[in-house]
Amino acid sequence: MMVRVRVLVSGRVQGVGFRWAVEDEAQAKGVTGWVRNLPDGRVEAVFEGEDEQVQQMVGFCRRGPAAARVEDVQVVREAYSGEFDGFSILR
Among candidate residues 6, 12, 36, 37, the one labeled active-site is 37
19 catalytic residue (yes or no)? yes
Distances in Å between the alpha carbon of 68 and those of 15, 39, 60, 79? Answer: 9, 17, 11, 29
Inter-helix orientation angle 51-63/18-29, to 10°: 160
Among candidate residues 6, 12, 19, 63, the one labeled active-site is 19
DSSP state of 17: S
Residues with catalytic function: 19, 37
